[in-house]
C-alpha cells in the first residue's frame, strides 16, 4: 500500500490496524512493520503511548477499547479515547511533515506543506513561512543560559 500524500487521522488508523493484523504474517511487510513503531517514534508521553497501543490492539482484533480500559486499574475510557485521538492527530501531522520534508526543512504555503526549495521560497512570497527543525542543547543556569533568579 502506498503512503498517502497528506496523512489524515483516518489513514493513520487504517495503517495501524493493518500493521497490527499483519504483525504475525510471514514474510512481514516492512511498511507495516514501520507503522507499529509510530507510537514510540512520535508520541512522547508514556501513558498516551500505552493507551494508543491498547487501542490499536483492540481495533485490530475486534475488542472493545472501553471494556479494556475498565478492566485495567487506573485507566479511564474517556481519558484514553481523548489521548488516542490526540496521538492519532499528532502522528498524522508528523508523518505529513516527514514526507514533505525528509531533510527536516519544509515550507508552509497556501495551506500545504512541501519541501523548502528556492523556487517555492520565491513563489511563496509573504504567504510562505520556512519551518526548520533543529535540536539545540539545553543550557543550565550555571552556564549563562538561565534567568539568574
Whether 65 is in a domain gets the answer yes
pLDDT of residue 116: 57
The whole-number average pLDDT for the span 34-43 is: 94
User: Are 74 and 38 part of one and the same domain?
Assistant: yes
Three-state secondary structure readout of 31-91: HHHHHHCHHHHHCCCHHHHHHHHHHHHHHHHCCCHHHHHHHCCCCCHHHHHHHHHHHHHHH
- Residues with Cβ within 8 Å of 110's Cβ and at least 6 positions away in sequence, in order, are 124, 127
Quote the pTM value.
0.68
The whole-number average pLDDT for the span 2-17 is: 85
Torsion of CA 22, 24, 25, 29, to 10 degrees: 60
Alpha-carbon gap, residue 68 to 50, rounded angstroms: 12
User: Are 93 and 124 part of one and the same domain?
Assistant: no
Whether 145 is in a domain gets the answer no
Domain count for the chain, please give it.
2
- Residues with Cβ within 8 Å of 41's Cβ and at least 6 positions away in sequence, in order, are none
- Residues with Cβ within 8 Å of 54's Cβ and at least 6 positions away in sequence, in order, are 65, 68, 69, 80
pLDDT of residue 85: 97
Pairwise pLDDT comparison (6 vs 40), residue with the higher score: 40
User: Are 69 and 6 part of one and the same domain?
Assistant: yes
User: Are 84 and 48 part of one and the same domain?
Assistant: yes
Pairwise pLDDT comparison (61 vs 25), residue with the higher score: 61
pLDDT tens across 99-131, in order? Answer: 877 766 665 555 565 655 556 555 554 444 444
User: Are 77 and 21 part of one and the same domain?
Assistant: yes
User: Are 10 and 69 part of one and the same domain?
Assistant: yes
User: Are 95 and 109 part of one and the same domain?
Assistant: no
> Per mean pLDDT, which of 72-76, 94-98, 125-129 is the most reliable?
72-76
Average pLDDT, the chain: 78
User: Are 109 and 95 part of one and the same domain?
Assistant: no
User: Are 88 and 115 part of one and the same domain?
Assistant: no
Domain residues for the domain of 44 are 1-100
User: Are 21 and 93 part of one and the same domain?
Assistant: yes
Amino acid at each position: 500500500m502506498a503512503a498517502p500524500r497528506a496523512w489524515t487521522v483516518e489513514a493513520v488508523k487504517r495503517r495501524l490496524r493493518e500493521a497490527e493484523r499483519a504483525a504475525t504474517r510471514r514474510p512481514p511487510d516492512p511498511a507495516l512493520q514501520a507503522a507499529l513503531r509510530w507510537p514510540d517514534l512520535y508520541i512522547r508521553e508514556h501513558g498516551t503511548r500505552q493507551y494508543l497501543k491498547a487501542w490499536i490492539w483492540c481495533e485490530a482484533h475486534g475488542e472493545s477499547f472501553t471494556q479494556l480500559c475498565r478492566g485495567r486499574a487506573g485507566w479511564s475510557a474517556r481519558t484514553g479515547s481523548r489521548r488516542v485521538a490526540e496521538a492519532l492527530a499528532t502522528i498524522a501531522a508528523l508523518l505529513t511533515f516527514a514526507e514533505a520534508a525528509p531533510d527536516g526543512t519544509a515550507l508552509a504555503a497556501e495551506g500545504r506543506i512541501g519541501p523548502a526549495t528556492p523556487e517555492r521560497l520565491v513563489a511563496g512570497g509573504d504567504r510562505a513561512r520556512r519551518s526548520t527543525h533543529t535540536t539545540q542543547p539545553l543550557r543550565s543556569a550555571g552556564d549563562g543560559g538561565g534567568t539568574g533568579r
